[in-house]
Amino acid sequence: MKKILGTIAAVAALGAAALLSPAMAESKGKIYYMVPTLLDEFQTESVSAIEKFLKEVGYEPVTLNADNKTDLQQSQMNDVINLKPKAIVLAAVDFNALQPSVEKARAAGIPVMVFDRQITATPIDFTSVAGTVEIGQVAADQIEILLKAKNGAVKGKVLQVLGDPSDPYTLDIQKGFEEKMKAFPDVKIISLPAMNWEASNAGTIVADQLVANPDIDLIFVHAAHLAVAAVASMEAKGKKPGDVLLVSSNGAPVGLDLIRKGWEQVEVEQPLYAQAAAIAMFADKVVNKQEIKAGTYKVLGLDSVLTIESWGPNLKIPGAAITKANVDEARFWGNLKAPADPITPVP
């Protein structure tokens, strides 16, 4: 118990408002969000969004940060299980290492919802994830348009900079992208990984390839922070905005800024707000152990597909293409302003 109190104190800035609010006296109960880290904007904004949406549907959210430490998150899970909350929302530091904790929670009658970082090796009560293959497909559609506008046809040379090749997120994006691009044999794709998702590795790849392949038409990177490094390498080679087209994915603030500055043409968003909203939409179903049916659900305006997999109900939410024409819309998480649309629980 001492450990959990100390952890809550460490994240008081995230949870104090929920704990002290008089309105919470009549809440449906506490739901703990186990966030893996607060070292990037996606994770910090996920806390704001999940807490906001859970409050809207009547729950008291409490966030615990694992500081990217597997053993700490395991300890937090054990302590939270002893507190017997209505449910746990888990974004795992390590999928495999947290499996026993998930099983322990469910054995204690506490449902577990997985956010963003999919766990498929054990039953889960509800999963909300981005459609990563679909992100690659959306990127392919946008790149088709860009190449046709530049070259008069869908042809040219594309440098694809992946994240770490051990990460299913980047492999799924690559799969969706390359499957769609098979329809265009006149597009040559050069694919190289930025090991450990390091921006410096992406920058080196772009710098080297601009020398080896000076006729590159477009660069497609799998994360916005890699796009920043790509731009730095292009600038170092004397390139100006638009000389080499740039497409990225995940929708982080830096990517949106690059669109505004003209360096980047498209950012395919990972739909953070919709993923968080889905957790709140299905919370009553999960807490009350009611059946969740397969089908298409509209989540913050996005048509999302829920399937019943071997690990449980799995909601996959597509990303959207961000361009100069819509970059300032609040629905994109990179603008750090959660949509005001009210969340309605699934009946």
Same domain assignment for residues 97 and 144: no
Looking at residue 339, what is its pLDDT? Answer: 85
Looking at residue 166, what is its pLDDT? Answer: 85
Residue 68: inside a domain, yes or no?
yes
Identify the band that residue 342 occupies on the pLDDT scale cut at 50, 70 and 90.
confident
Distance CA(199)–CA(181), nearest Å, equals 25
pLDDT at 296 over 60: yes
Distance CA(253)–CA(109), nearest Å, equals 39
At 252 the three-state DSSP class reads coil
Neighbours of 301 (CB within 10 A): 10
Same domain assignment for residues 107 and 218: no
Tell me the two tokens of residue 18.
């929920």
Rounded to 10 deg, the angle between the 12-20 and 2-10 helix axes is 100
Distance CA(148)–CA(244), nearest Å, equals 14
Percent of the chain with pLDDT strictly greater than 70: 93
User: By residue range, what is the domain housing residue 202?
Assistant: 132-269
Residue 268 or 19, more confident: 268
Give the CA distances from residue 201 to residues 207, 235, 301, 338, in Å, rounded to whole numbers and listed in that order.
Answer: 10, 16, 36, 32
pLDDT at 104 over 90: yes
Same domain assignment for residues 186 and 255: yes
Tokens 């997985």 belong to 114
- Chain segment 213-246, per-residue pLDDT in tens: 999 999 999 999 999 999 999 999 999 999 999 9
Same domain assignment for residues 54 and 146: no
- Chain segment 141-199, per-residue pLDDT in tens: 999 999 999 999 999 999 999 999 988 889 999 999 999 999 999 999 999 999 999 99
Same domain assignment for residues 227 and 113: no
Single out the residue in 269, 304, 319 at which a domain terminates.
Answer: 269
Same domain assignment for residues 35 and 151: no
pLDDT at 7 over 70: no
Looking at residue 340, what is its pLDDT? Answer: 85
First to last CA, the chain: 36
User: How many domains does the chain fold into?
Assistant: 2
Identify the band that residue 4 occupies on the pLDDT scale cut at 50, 70 and 90.
very low
Same domain assignment for residues 81 and 140: no
Same domain assignment for residues 140 and 259: yes
Tokens 């390359």 belong to 178
Looking at residue 168, what is its pLDDT? Answer: 85
Give the CA distances from residue 296 to residues 48, 82, 133, 323, in Å, rounded to whole numbers and listed in that order.
Answer: 26, 36, 17, 26
Rounded to 10 deg, the angle between the 70-83 and 2-10 helix axes is 110
Q: Specify the CATH number for the domain of residue 71.
A: 3.40.50.2300
Contact 322, 251 (CB under 8 A): yes
- Chain segment 8-20, per-residue pLDDT in tens: 444 444 444 444 4
What one-character DSSP code corresponds to residue 289? T
